[in-house]
Amino acid sequence: MQDVHRQDAYRLFGIELSPYSVKVRAYLRFKQLPHVWLTRDASTQAEFERYARLPLVPLVVSPAGDGLQDSTPIIEELERRHPEPSIRPESQLTGFVSDLLEEFADEWGNKWMFHYRWARDVDQWSAAGRIARIMQPTASDEDVRVAAERVRARMIGRMGFVGSNEQTGPLIERSFQQAIGLLEAHLERRPYLLGARPALADFGLFGELYEAWTDPTAGALIEARAPALLAWIQRMCFPDVEGPFEAWSDLRATLLPLLRDQVAKLFLPWSAANEQAIQQRSERFELPLDGSIWTQQPQKYHAKSLAVLREKYAECRKDVELGELMRATGCHDVLAARG
Ligand SMILES: N[C@@H](CCC(=O)N[C@@H](CS)C(=O)NCC(=O)O)C(=O)O
Q: Can you give the pLDDT at residue 61?
A: 98
Instruction: Please report the atom of ligand 1 found closest to the CA of residue 69.
Output: 20
The whole-angstrom separation of Cα 105 and Cα 169 is 18
**Residue with the nearest Cα to atom 13 of ligand 1?**
56
Mutation to probe ligand 1, out of 21, 49, 56 (largest number of atoms < 8 A from CB) = 56
Average pLDDT over residues 22-45: 98
Q: What percent of the chain has pLDDT over 90?
A: 95
The answer to whether residues 98 and 86 touch, using CB atoms and an 8 Å cutoff, is no
Question: What b/e sequence results for 118-134 when a residue is b if at least 16 CB atoms lie within 10 Å of its CB, and e otherwise?
Answer: bbeeebbebbbbbbbbe
Q: Is the pLDDT of residue 106 over 80?
A: yes
Alpha helices, DSSP H, located in 226-281: 227-237, 248-258, 268-279
Q: What is the pTM of this model?
A: 0.97
Of 303, 275, 155, give the one whose Cα is nearest residue 215. 155
Give the pLDDT score at 103.
98
The pLDDT value given to residue 2: 80
Share of the chain above pLDDT 70, in %: 100
Query: What does the pLDDT look like over 237-296, one tens digit per residue?
Result: 999 999 999 999 999 999 999 999 999 999 999 999 999 999 999 999 999 999 999 999
Phi and psi dihedrals of 326, rounded to 5? -65, -35
Q: For atom 6 of ligand 1, which residue has the closest CA?
A: 56
d(CA 129, CA 105): 25
For 166-208, the pLDDT digits (tens) are 999 999 999 999 999 999 999 999 999 999 999 999 999 999 9
Q: Whose CA is nearest to atom 18 of ligand 1?
A: 70
Which atom of ligand 1 is found nearest the CA of 74? 20
The helix/strand/coil state of 287 is strand
